[in-house]
A and B are shown apart, each in its own frame.
Chain A
Amino acid sequence: MNALKSAPVLAHEVPAKDPYLEISDLWKLYGDFVALRDVSLKVEEGEFVCFLGPSGCGKTTLLRAIAGLDLQTRGTVIQNGQDVSNLPPSRRDFGIVFQSYALFPNLTIRKNIAYGLENAGRSKEEITVRVTELLDMVGLSEQGNKYPAQLSGGQQQRIALARAIATSPGLLLLDEPLSALDAKVRVHLRHEIKELQRKLGVTTVMVTHDQEEALSMADRIVVMNHGVIEQVGAPTEVYKNPASLFVAGFIGEMNQLEAQILSENRLRIGKHEFECRDHDFDPGTTVVAAIRPDDVVPHGSDFVPDAGAKNCELVRIGDMEFLGSFWRCHLISDDFHGAELIADFSVNAVRRLSLATRQEIHVELPRENLIAFAPEAQGGDDD
Chain B
Amino acid sequence: MTDAATLPPGRDVKPRLSRDDVMMRSWMIVIALYLVVTLVFPLYAMLSKSFSTYHFDLGQFEFQVSDDDGVFATDPVLASTLNDQLGVFGEADLRAGSDGRLPATKLFPDFSFRSSKMYRVRGTSDEAVYLVGSTRHSGTAWQELDSNTFRRVQMRPVSGTGFGNFVTYFSTPALSNSIKNSLVISTIATVLTVTLAFGFAYALNRSCLRFKGAFRIIAMAPILVPSLLPGIALVYLFGNQGMLKELLMGQSIYGPIGILIGSVFFTFPHAFLILSTALAISDARLYEAADSLKTSPWKTFWTVTIPGARYGIISATFVVFNLVITDFGLPKVIGGQFNVLAVDIYKQVIGQQNFEMGAVVSVVLLIPAVFAFAIDRIVQRRQVAQLSARSVPYEPKPQKGRDRVAMIYCSVIGVFIIGLLAICQYAALIKFWPYDLSLSLNNYQFDLMDGGGWGSYFNSIKLGLLTAIVGTGVVFFGAYLVEKANGFEMGRGFFQMVAMLPMAVPGMVLGLAYIFFFNNPANPLNAIYGTMAILVVCTVTHFYTVSHLTAVTALKQMDREFESVSASLKQPTMKLFRRVTVPVCLPALLDISIYLFVNAMTTVSAVVFLYSPKTALASIAVLNMDDAGDIAPAAAMGMMIFYTNAAARIIHLLVSRGLLTRTQAWRFR
Contacts and interface: CB of A to CB of B under 8 A. Distances in A.
Interface of A: 25, 27, 29, 32-34, 37-38, 67, 69, 71-75, 85-92, 94-96, 98, 100, 102, 104-107, 115-116, 118-120, 147-150, 163-164, 166-167, 169, 226-227, 380-383
Given A107-B580, A150-B669, A86 B14 contact: yes
Interface in B642-659: none
Interface residues of B, number: 42
B665 interface: yes
B564 A96 contact: yes
A69 B564 contact: yes
A165 to B, nearest CB: 11
Contacts of A75: 13
B298 interface: no
B361 to A, nearest CB: 46
B191 to A, nearest CB: 45
B571 A116 contact: yes
B4 to A, nearest CB: 5
B10 interface: yes
**Max chain B Cβ within 10 angstroms of own Cβ: one of A69, A91, A106, A116:** A106
22 contacts: A32-B2, A34-B1, A69-B567, A71-B13, A73-B13, A86-B16, A88-B17, A89-B18, A89-B568, A96-B564, A100-B559, A102-B565, A104-B562, A105-B584, A105-B666, A106-B579, A106-B666, A107-B579, A149-B665, A150-B665, A167-B570, A380-B1
Interface in B551-579: 559, 561-562, 564-572, 575, 579
Given A73-B12, A90-B570, A96 B666 contact: no
Interface of B: 1-4, 6-8, 10, 12-21, 486, 559, 561-562, 564-572, 575, 579-580, 583-584, 663, 665-669
A382 B561 CA distance: 31
B1 A86 contact: no
Nearest to A108: B666
A89 B567 contact: yes
Q: Say whether chain A's binding surface is mostly helix, strand, loop, or mixed.
A: loop
A169 B570 CA distance: 11
A94 B570 CA distance: 10
A116 B580 contact: no
Contacts of A69: 564, 567
A270 B665 CA distance: 67
A115 B566 CA distance: 8
B12 to A, nearest CB: 5
Contacts, number: 130
B20 A74 contact: no
Contacts of B572: 119
Nearest to B572: A119
B565 A98 contact: yes
B1 A32 contact: no
B23 to A, nearest CB: 12
Given A106-B580, A116-B570, A119-B570, 6 more contacts: A32-B2, A34-B4, A34-B7, A38-B8, A91-B16, A149-B665
A95 to B, nearest CB: 6
Nearest to B20: A90
B479 to A, nearest CB: 19
A163 B569 CA distance: 9
A74 B562 contact: no
Given A149-B666, A150-B665, A67 B564 contact: yes
Contacts of B565: 96, 98, 102, 163
Contact of B13 (A72, A100, A149): A72
B568 A96 contact: yes
Nearest to B7: A27
A67 B568 contact: yes
A27 B8 CA distance: 9
Contacts of B665: 147, 149-150
A137 B570 CA distance: 22
Nearest to A88: B18
Given A32-B4, A88-B567, A167-B570, A74 B13 contact: yes
B362 to A, nearest CB: 41
A198 to B, nearest CB: 22
Contact of A71 (B15, B566, B569, B584): B15
